[in-house]
Chains A and B, each alone.
Chain A
Amino acid sequence: MSARLGQGLYHAVLWLVALIFFAPVFWIILSSFKTAPQILAVPPLIVFRPTFANYARLFAQPSFEHHFFNSIVLSVLAVVIAVAVSFLAAFAFSRFRPGATNFLMFLLLSIRMLPGSAAILPVYLMYVAFGWKDSYIWMTLFYAMFSIPFSVWILKGFIDGVSPRFDETGIVNGASWLSIIARLTLPQVMPGVVAALIFNFIFVWNEFLFNYIIGGINTANIPVLLATNLSHGGGIDWTFLSSLTTIYILPPIIAVYFFQRVLLVGMTFGTVRGEV
């Protein structure tokens, strides 16, 4: 009996921890159903009559769809391009081990080391000089570049875990390298591919600084809309912030729910495949 009580307590603590971490997010979601005075009410309102006016106002805003569309297009395209080229490179690094493999992998990681405001500086000057500012293609390619290092690192780990015997069998049976890559190796490292896709998707989805500096009206995503439309007659427009954020965090949270297992397997960098 006491063992069961202990386990119940243990589970209660775990749930409490999860809820504490979620509380601020819950507060944002709750606020999105309040009117502006209700959000700033003292004492804070837990029980109130929900209003959907914030969402109605948000959807009525003509720029909303445009920016939302931008967010989707930029993050999906960039991540797919990045993972595709990363997969090819990771395959080459893993199978052929060219001389400078370790050095190149380290160089790739170094992209991540530059602080955003440092990286953006020369890129900004470059984009202005070449007239690449505010263009979908160059924005997408830039995000793709930012997603490549992490993807190569994850995918190389996974491909290392696939025995080269598969390749040899393939060659013996007359398969081309392309079909070895696409039809023998790719299906076996799917967890790594999905993990790389989701992690980089979340990053690009939430990215603000680069979009703000090297993007423009055409390519602005939702974080930029959030940051630039916040001020409203002196104060911050809390209803706008909370309703837009609530909609915007839904896709990543849903992705985390459905792909939890894949994310975990992904972060093991290929040391475990399958069961977690």
Chain B
Amino acid sequence: MSVAVSSRRTFASGRRPGLLAFFARREVLPAVLICPVLIFFIVWDIIPTLWLLGLSFYRYSLTSGRPPIYSGFYNYITILNDAETWFDLSRTFIFVLLAVGIETGAGLLLGLLFWRSDRLPGRRVALTLLFAPMVVTPVAAGTFWRLIYDPTFGILNWFIRSLGFAPVRFLSDANFAFGSVLAVDIWMWTPFMVLMALAALASVPKAELEAAEIDRLTWLQRLRLVILHHGKFILMLGILLRTIDAFKTMDLIFDMTYGGPGTATELVAMSLFRKAFEDFDMGSSSALAVILLLISIAFTTTFLYVLYLRERKAAIA
């Protein structure tokens, strides 16, 4: 605050056309303001990304101790020809589709339910409990779910056994592992979608809701015409953020199954981690990373384009 006060005196009086006054000029100011973010961006994003891109054209293993050898598109060709890559990718797509789909559906439903409950006793506590999974350290959550899922000691299997069924090996049976990990992801991130849904609902003007009520629109019409019309942008942003993050799901897998059993839960982020920090094959893992980045960018661009296109159409209509 002291900076603001002292410089205000300098600028406002205009008697000291020094260096500070130069920075405050209208043509210079935007550049000065954006500069710090730009520096961060160049050092930690542009340089590493270019580095990644460069490495992807080399054969470079940290364990061999040999210097990198230029190999053109060799890494890319190897990865794209590897059937395992395609299996991992399709598994990841299914994971993202199911996780984001269910989280959005459940999030929207719960958001609507909680939004209408102004008089719920202890609403704030209830919402805090609901949001708790989102803030639990993923490392701890993943490990603890292993105990909950455990065939012998886990509470879930105790329920199953007391109902008279055989215990389920949730994480070590290839038929269940994928679903079990998916369930934990849904547990962890549905609260985020509830938060986004509540925010979206909060952005709906109250007057329009009242008008809709007076016009006796049905609930479905109100949802479609009033709520989604105003809340669409925030909801879509939530879906976008969730999709990007689900595509990179890694810490849960890392703690719970490490990609196993077999390859049942091997998502691309996990196989990337293996390539980079188990095999230390920097060239090949860089190439895979570049491929994943391109997929992410393609998806996000399409998503934003469709979002803005719809908006422009709506603006014309």
* Contacts from A to B (Cβ < 8 Å): 7, 10-11, 13-15, 17-19, 21-22, 24-25, 27-28, 39-44, 85-86, 88-89, 91-93, 95-96, 98, 104, 106-123, 125-126, 141-142, 144-145, 148, 152, 174-179, 182-183, 202, 205-206, 208-209, 213, 222-223, 226-227, 230, 236, 238, 241-242, 244-245, 248-249, 252-253, 256-257, 260, 263-269, 271-272, 276
Contacts and interface: CB of A to CB of B under 8 A. Distances in A.
B220 interface: no
B100 interface: no
Given A14-B117, A142-B44, A176-B7, A21 B130 contact: yes
- List the 5 closest A-B pairs by CB distance, nearest first: A176-B11, A118-B289, A267-B199, A122-B48, A92-B33
Contact of B135 (A109, A145, A206, A222): A206
Nearest to A246: B140
Contact of B277 (A117, A119, A206, A271): A117
Interface in B168-218: 187, 190-191, 195-196, 198-200, 202-203
A107 B38 CA distance: 11
A21 B49 CA distance: 38
A92 B30 contact: yes
A43 B296 CA distance: 45
Contacts of A269: 233-234, 237
Contact of B137 (A85, A213, A226, A265): A226
Interface in B1-57: 1, 3-5, 7-8, 10-12, 24, 29-31, 33-34, 36-38, 40-41, 43-45, 47-49, 51-52, 55
B120 interface: yes
Contacts of B80: none
A43 to B, nearest CB: 5
Interface in B245-280: 245, 247-248, 250-251, 255, 268-269, 272-273, 276-277
B214 to A, nearest CB: 21
Contact of B272 (A39, A115, A141): A115
Contact of B136 (A113, A245, A265, A276): A245
A253 B122 CA distance: 16
Contacts of A175: 8, 11-12
Contacts of A205: 137
A113 B144 contact: no
B266 to A, nearest CB: 13
A192 B307 CA distance: 23
B282 A96 contact: no
B85 interface: no
Nearest to B122: A15
Contact of A264 (B138, B198, B277): B198
B126 interface: yes
A43 B202 CA distance: 45
Contacts of A122: 47-49, 51-52, 55, 286
A257 B52 CA distance: 41
Nearest to B113: A14
Given A14-B114, A115-B248, A223-B139, A264 B130 contact: no
A115 B269 contact: yes
Given A152-B37, A208-B251, A98 B45 contact: no
Contact of A208 (B139, B199, B247): B139
24 contacts: A14-B126, A21-B191, A24-B133, A28-B144, A85-B40, A86-B37, A92-B30, A92-B31, A95-B30, A96-B30, A111-B41, A111-B45, A115-B289, A118-B52, A118-B292, A145-B45, A175-B11, A175-B12, A179-B4, A245-B144, A253-B132, A257-B128, A264-B202, A269-B234
B137 A223 contact: yes
A178 B7 contact: yes
A249 to B, nearest CB: 5
A119 B139 CA distance: 19
Contacts of B293: 110, 113-114, 118
A210 B200 CA distance: 32
B153 interface: yes
Contacts of B125: 257
Contacts of A39: 147
Contacts of A248: 137, 140
Contact of B34 (A92, A144, A174, A236): A92
Contacts of B228: none
A42 B161 CA distance: 11
Nearest to B144: A28
A227 to B, nearest CB: 5
B61 interface: no
B93 interface: no
A260 B144 contact: no
B63 interface: no
B203 A88 contact: no
A122 B43 CA distance: 11
Contacts of B133: 21-22, 24-25
A95 B29 CA distance: 11
Contact of A242 (B144, B245, B296): B144
Given A96-B29, A122-B49, A176 B24 contact: yes
Contacts of B44: 111, 123, 141-142, 145
A117 B48 contact: no
A122 B251 CA distance: 19
